[in-house]
Amino acid sequence: MKRYFKDIWDSFYTIGIGMGVTFRHLFTKSVTIQYPDVKLELTDRARNRLYVNMDDCIGCDQCSKACPVNCITIETVKAVPPDDLGVTSTGNPKRLWVTKFDIDIAKCCYCALCVYPCPTECIKMTDVYEFSEFDRHNLLYNFSTMTPAEVENAAMKFEKWQADKAAAKKETTDKKKAAGEKPQPKKQETGDSNKNNPPDENKSES
């Protein structure tokens, strides 16, 4: 019987306390903001949309290798002697035409693992977070600044250079002796990004 009345008392008492808490909150200032009108300032470390500064990119493919979800696709063509691509703002010489630098931001998991290995600090995460699209294909960002004509031109130049070089080599080897050895079989596969970038890989490791 005592328990019975204690239960009743407990119910009213605890409900009263709870109501007191909610009543106090009725008059406290709200913690939410009116989002599109008011926006929180993000920290400078914010990790949102990826951005690539193509002027500095040397096409070393480090970011693409670091990406755990393979959302970065890079294709390069080696620049041949008459063209000089200059140097990046960090002083690294650019040796490759970056014919394709695609980031599928829909796949991106914002882990920022691509940012750290970049030797020229050209890929970085910005504080832009409002980039939703109605069509998923619009989320495939093309960062490469080259037009298709330029890409074709660069590829052609490289092929020509390659052919010239092979011919020159052949000439010299033919002169020396007629052994059937091909000097650089791997170089035939032009445009394949993974095989075209050994010069810069060591630099990025340091």
* Residues forming the site for another protein (CB under 8 A): 7-8, 10-11, 13-15, 17-23, 25-32, 34, 42-43, 45-47, 65-69, 109-113, 116, 125, 205
DSSP 20: H
Nearer CB in complex with another protein: 28/132: 28
3-state secondary structure string, 138-182?
HHEEECCCCCHHHHHHHHHHHHHHHHHHHHHHHHHHHHHCCCCCC
Q: Give which of 139, 78, 135 is closest to 108, Cα–Cα.
A: 139
Q: How far is the CB of 68 from another protein (least distance, A)?
A: 4
Nearer CB in complex with another protein: 135/205: 205
Nearer CB in complex with another protein: 123/154: 123
Q: How far is the CB of 26 from another protein (least distance, A)?
A: 5
Q: Could you tell me if 94 and 85 are in contact, meaning their C-beta atoms sit under 8 angstroms apart?
A: yes
CA distance 108 to 106: 6
Q: Could you tell me if 161 and 154 are in contact, meaning their C-beta atoms sit under 8 angstroms apart?
A: no
Q: Could you tell me if 48 and 127 are in contact, meaning their C-beta atoms sit under 8 angstroms apart?
A: yes
Nearer CB in complex with another protein: 66/85: 66
Q: Could you identify the residue written with the tokens 């970065």?
A: 72
Q: How far is the CB of 44 from another protein (least distance, A)?
A: 9
Q: How far is the CB of 5 from another protein (least distance, A)?
A: 10
Nearer CB in complex with another protein: 84/110: 110
Q: How far is the CB of 173 from another protein (least distance, A)?
A: 37
